[in-house]
Chains A and B, each alone.
Chain A
Amino acid sequence: MGELFLDAGRAIANVAIVGLVLGAGVPAIFALGMRALGIGRPVSADSTDFTGPATATGRALSLVFFATAVAAVLFGFVVIIWGKQLFS
């Protein structure tokens, strides 16, 4: 019985770690992409929207972040389809 709880605790800890890295990390990377798009960009007087296009630096940086986030989602699809062969 004790072993059962120990195993369960280990599994939960693993899930929490992967969850934090991917589940919280990927939205954070996406957020960095959003922020990069706003670098040096003019904002309307009431600061509700941008009034000009994104800068070249902003675009390039955001592309890197967004590509990482998309790659993470694609990795998710790979896990769904071939996960059992890959991880067990």
Chain B
Amino acid sequence: MTDVTLVLSLLVVVALVFDYTNGFHDTANAMATTIATGALKPKVAVALSAVLNLVGAFLSIEVALTVSNKVVDIQGPDGAPLPELMGLPILVIVLAGLVGGILWNLITWLFGIPSSSSHALFGGLIGAAIASLGAGGVKWDGVLKAVAIPAVAAPLVACFVALVGARLVYRITRNLPESSRANGFRWGQIGSASLVSLAHGTNDAQKTMGVITLGLIAAGVWTDTHAIPFWVKLTCAVAIALGTYMGGWRVIRTLGKGLVEIDPPQGMAAEAASAAIILSSSHAGMALSTTHVATGSILGSGLGRRVEVRWGVAGRLVVAWLTTLPAAGLMGAICWWLAHSVGGVAGPLLICVLLAGLSLFMVWWARRDPIHHENVNDDWNGGLSPDRNKGGPTPRRREKV
């Protein structure tokens, strides 16, 4: 086995791990509201979302080889690697970027923060590209167009649409008996959340497929820039579905219970706004992050229903969004530097071992304060951990509107 083949194998495995973290990090976007209102039992919700992600991943007919091409200058216009970077150089850049993205996904998951997986991936790649090629390795106007502007616009537009939707829904149904209204809207929630899950599978699995195919081309084992090998499609679809089924319960808890209390009509308004915005944005030439849209929608639906929004939680999320790109970038850069300094196959291997170690550490850390399908809906009392509530003051019930 040559060095290139070995590093390529590492890249494929790490890319699939990224896809998996992408899945569990984003389960909340579609299912947090459905779980919070009891429209679906937690396990059923994640299973449904996983199946739809799997189906969605197979539905993606586009070749997302140019995903990374928007922000970093390592590929030609057709998506093939630049000739001078063919082989190890581009493989190491992409590998370091992926490791940086995964680390940031895990850190934000640990704190229950719904941060964008695509921004983490972009951040990691940008950091690794700067470290290896200098500032010229980054397409800065691409960063502005594909990352910065959407990051500001997505939550605002989603918040506004969901606010209007929730206001309308509550106005129209204000004279209906509470229980029949709640039951009816639970069905609406399931429908709209399913759409978000399917769209997620189509959009996000595609990115990992693109990254792996880029690696295959760089290593010289695949040449077609218009097609993706079937095994890549299959493994990416399965990885994102498995991740989704794992359920990022910490993030689900923040979005479903932490930001604002959710009622079924409000949940439907939030998910419908998310679905409409995610779908329309990918056709308007500005793909918005599912995470930013979902968070904005949930916040807006709370404002529309006129219930208390926990601005402290919302503020933490905004800070995390702003730091996602630079933080993942820093990690991507450090990883590239480590891999490059050690060199050969040992360098890439070292950052993979580092990734495994840090991942295990974070999983262990999370286990000290576990959040799972049984306590994900416990009352929110100032923090992510439901255990902190034990023995504390009785959680204040919020007024129903």
| A residues at B contact (CB < 8 Å) | 1, 4-5, 7-8, 11-12, 14-16, 18-24, 26-28, 30-35, 37-38, 43-44, 47-50, 69-70, 73, 76-77, 79-81, 83-84, 87-88
Contacts and interface: CB of A to CB of B under 8 A. Distances in A.
A88 B284 CA distance: 10
A73 B141 CA distance: 35
Given A8-B153, A73-B192, A80-B198, A31 B279 contact: no
Contacts of A22: 272, 276, 280
14 contacts: A8-B286, A11-B284, A15-B286, A15-B288, A19-B161, A27-B166, A27-B272, A30-B185, A34-B181, A38-B177, A49-B178, A69-B188, A76-B279, A83-B279
Contacts of A11: 281, 284-286
Interface in B272-325: 272-277, 279-286, 288
A31 B286 contact: no
Q: Which 4 A-B residue pairs are closest in the complex by CB-CB distance? A: A23-B276, A24-B165, A18-B280, A23-B273
B277 A23 contact: yes
B276 A19 contact: yes
Nearest to A24: B165
A23 B275 contact: yes
B207 to A, nearest CB: 16
Contacts of B188: 27, 30, 69
B172 A31 contact: yes
Interface in B253-278: 265, 268-269, 272-277
Given A4-B141, A15-B277, A79-B283, A24 B176 contact: no
**A interface, over-half SS:** helix
A16 B157 contact: yes
Interface stretch (B8-16, B23-31, B55-63): B55-63
B115 interface: no
B273 A80 contact: no
A2 to B, nearest CB: 12
A65 B360 CA distance: 51
Contact of A34 (B165, B173, B192, B284): B173
Nearest to A82: B61
A35 B172 contact: yes
A28 B153 contact: no
Contacts of A26: 192, 272, 276
B220 interface: no
Interface in B132-168: 141, 144-145, 149, 153, 157-158, 160-162, 164-166, 168
Given A16-B160, A24-B164, A28-B168, 10 more contacts: A19-B157, A19-B161, A19-B273, A27-B268, A27-B269, A32-B172, A34-B180, A38-B176, A48-B179, A49-B178
Most buried by B among A23, A35, A76: A23
B344 interface: no
A49 B177 contact: yes
B144 A23 contact: no
A18 B62 contact: no
A48 B180 CA distance: 8
B175 interface: yes
B216 interface: no
A24 B185 contact: no
B169 interface: yes
Contacts of B286: 8, 11-12, 15
A72 to B, nearest CB: 9
Nearest to B304: A24
Contacts of B89: none
Contacts of B288: 15
Contacts of B153: 8, 12, 15
Contact of B199 (A5, A38, A80): A80
Contact of B184 (A34, A47, A77, A88): A34
Contacts of B178: 48-49
B277 A19 contact: yes
B195 interface: yes
B180 A50 contact: yes
Contact of A27 (B158, B165, B285): B165
B172 A19 contact: no
A73 B191 contact: yes
B66 interface: no
Nearest to A34: B184
A34 B176 contact: yes
B59 A27 contact: no
A24 B273 contact: yes
